Amino acid sequence: MTAISRALASDIDVRAEVRIDTMARKDRKWYLTDTFSRHYGPFDQVIVTAPPAQARDLFTNSGLMNLASALDGAVPAVQPCWAVAVHFESAPGAEFEGMRPHNGVLSWLANNSSKPGREDHGQWWVLHATSQWSAEHVETHADQVIDVMLDAFREITGFDSMPDETVPHRWLYARSDGDDHPGCLWFPAEGIGLAGDWLSGGRVEGAFDSASELVRTMNQ
């Protein structure tokens, strides 16, 4: 999933593992401070591509209350997603490579090993839980989540072997159920823009379209 953004970013200065905590404006320039009190800037403009809850925290910490409240409607619309990757030594023999089962627990299952260029030994399957189930189990221990999601997988495929590897991941800000998709948000007086999939219908294409739309808007 990161191959496209890594390629696009190959000739720009990207600082990873940096969480911006506050932003402050002086003489029409922005200065950013991270959670280790390291400073960045000055910058003419700032583009925030964090999910709305994290963007709102950043604006609140920075005393930018009008920007923070502009995100109040978007924050609750973003739902979590429990995802589990499971590896089977012998292929489950499912008659499909991907499925949207909507069986109350799982919203998506995919045979990752069927994707082009994979030469996996055995088969990797990716299971996503529904937004509702994920929200109800957001604090449930990962081991228990794996058990329930695997049971649901077995029920659908009839395959009851145990996987030899499981990789759970809880995405707190996974999917936006909101139906308001302005494309991007641009606050010209402050010189702050927001882009992200949640502003443009979700998924990677949404993130790309949102960023393109923001750049167009900023250049007008």
Q: Which amino acid is at 156?
A: I
CB-based contact 31:23 (threshold 8 Å):
yes
CB-based contact 123:110 (threshold 8 Å):
no
Which of 92, 178, 183, 202 forms a contact with ligand FAD (CB under 6 A)? 202
Which of 51, 52, 92, 193 forms a contact with ligand FAD (CB under 6 A)? 51
Closest approach, Cβ 97 to ligand FAD, in A, equals: 13
The reply on whether position 46 binds ligand FAD by CB under 6 A is no
Closest approach, Cβ 101 to ligand FAD, in A, equals: 16
Binding residues for ligand FAD restricted to 101-160, rule: CB under 6 A? 128
The reply on whether position 49 binds ligand FAD by CB under 6 A is yes
The reply on whether position 81 binds ligand FAD by CB under 6 A is yes
Residues 118 and 47: their CA atoms lie apart, in Å, by: 35
The reply on whether position 20 binds ligand FAD by CB under 6 A is yes
What are the residues binding ligand FAD (CB under 6 A)?
Answer: 18-20, 49-51, 54, 58, 81, 83, 128, 171, 174, 196-197, 202-204, 206-207
